[in-house]
A and B are shown apart, each in its own frame.
Chain A
């Protein structure tokens, strides 16, 4: 555990990694290989300064606080860990996540939560284009707005958008469900608005509570698949 610094003598279960002084590999190696058996439950990452791949592939119930902006793929493939980023994140935050929580205080660049199977991703500010692309079971709550092509080919899971959505929202949706509070610039192929059921209101309420974002669930609308693309329609205009 060379280079690992205890933040405070009494915090034996808490470690700090300073990415200005230590290579990222020390952090990720610790999280992957050395964490078990140390009793460490809380890791602080300081001076992240946009470094890529912070806390990727973690498979342990550890809390990781990143104090600053993270680069590409932060907390990608996360399993069990609770990763908090006190800043913005680059492309692909929590891509391929399986379980756990990733909470971003700032904004997220493109492809947030891409292809993720589970867990909860919270982005307090805006998420850029392709948020939730090909999501496969993750829940995503965006406090701000999302860019174009969000939830493209989303298969399962829920995307809550507290602000507006860009063009082609939910293009080629499968069974993922989108809840949107603001304006939708346009829907993608096969996506449409549906009435909210009691179960939908309850789902939004629960997700907002877990994300610690306050809004009235009654303000959200449900967007889901028309399921017309599920079957080949030989009579459709072949205009693509």
Chain B
């Protein structure tokens, strides 16, 4: 069991409230996922030539100033770093192709959670309320987000195995369910040079979809090809630069419910985590049907 939540605000003035609107949704999914929690938030886009990287350190007290100094020394370029305990967001004009291998070599204890122009990720082990307080989820702003509360079944309870997972840039995925062929997917992708950070089944799905999109699929056709390739139970909720996307497997064993108003689209595993949203009593509430792809775009 796990809990998934997603929120996309339709009005620009609501972007400041994105985190605070989401908070009761995530907390409401505590029973479905009490061992870890995480969240990916999509913010205003950086300029074309800039990138940001969410980083996770093994300890709460981490020498981020030392990391930043080493980054500037190595790349000889400007960088800005925003820190929150063991998490930091590094903004710079270096591409992922140079930052990722450098970080893996010089700071092997750091985990690069995501890269892109819009996405920030925070994830850690612990009760969702504690994780949310740790990273001030209620203050997050942006256009849309995906969140997750984890009850681990397929791999260990560690920060890097918490959801969301990411691949490529500005793409992330959370999952309720379990895949039965993640190693088959890995054996297909690894020879193509695609590297995995963990042994988690969800990471396989995330990297599969991102690979399909790099091969030219749009999000919908990537998901559709997953119907044949991904075996198992899933409700997937994905975030990309411009959209939230939701899909459930053919058997729909893993729940999902959507509430849509003029102000927002909210997705959750269960209605009880949507019940605190303003105006939800008059929202269009529906249960997504299996193998239908739902995409909501940022307006």
Contact = CB atoms under 8 A, between A and B. Distances in A.
Q: Is the interface of A mostly helix, strand, loop or mixed?
A: loop
Q: Is the interface of B mostly helix, strand, loop or mixed?
A: loop
B129 interface: no
A129 B253 CA distance: 9
A148 interface: yes
A110 to B, nearest CB: 6
B252 A69 contact: no
B290 interface: yes
B272 A71 contact: yes
Interface residues of B, number: 19
A240 B107 CA distance: 53
B272 A107 contact: no
A148 B253 CA distance: 12
Interface in A49-106: 49-52, 68-69, 71-72, 88, 90-91, 106
B243 interface: no
B272 A109 contact: no
Interface in B243-268: 250-253, 255, 257
B285 A147 contact: no
B290 A91 contact: no
B271 A129 contact: no
A147 B290 contact: yes
Contacts of A109: 255, 257, 287
Nearest to B270: A50
B281 interface: yes
B287 A50 contact: no
Given A91-B255, A129-B251, A50 B290 contact: no
A128 B287 CA distance: 8
Contacts of A148: 250-251, 290
A148 B272 CA distance: 25
Interface string B277-289: 0000100011101
Contacts of A51: 272
Contact of A129 (B270, B276, B281, B290): B290
Contacts of A110: 252-253, 255
B133 interface: no
A88 B270 contact: no
A49 B28 CA distance: 11
B72 interface: no
A147 B289 contact: yes
Interface size class of A (residues with CB under 8 A): 10 to 19
Given A128-B252, A129-B251, A129-B252, A69 B290 contact: no
B274 interface: yes
A115 to B, nearest CB: 17
Nearest to A69: B271
B80 interface: no
A52 B289 CA distance: 21
B251 A50 contact: no
A76 to B, nearest CB: 16
B275 interface: yes
Contact of A90 (B252, B270, B289, B290): B270
Contacts of B270: 50, 71-72, 90
Nearest to B272: A50
A101 to B, nearest CB: 23
Contacts of A52: 272
Contacts of A71: 270-272
A50 B252 contact: no
B271 A50 contact: yes
A69 B287 contact: no
B285 A69 contact: yes
A88 B271 contact: yes
Interface string A106-123: 110110000000000000
Most buried by A among B271, B273, B274, B276: B271
Nearest to A20: B275
A110 B250 CA distance: 13
Contacts of B253: 110
A188 to B, nearest CB: 14
Nearest to B289: A147
8 contacts: A49-B275, A50-B271, A50-B274, A51-B272, A71-B272, A90-B255, A110-B253, A148-B290
Q: Which 8 A-B pairs have the closest CB atoms?
A: A50-B272, A49-B275, A50-B271, A69-B271, A129-B252, A50-B275, A71-B272, A109-B287
Given A50-B275, A72-B270, 19 more contacts: A49-B271, A49-B272, A50-B270, A50-B273, A52-B272, A69-B271, A71-B270, A71-B272, A90-B270, A90-B271, A107-B286, A109-B255, A110-B252, A110-B253, A110-B255, A128-B252, A128-B287, A129-B251, A147-B252
Interface of B: 250-253, 255, 257, 270-276, 281, 285-287, 289-290
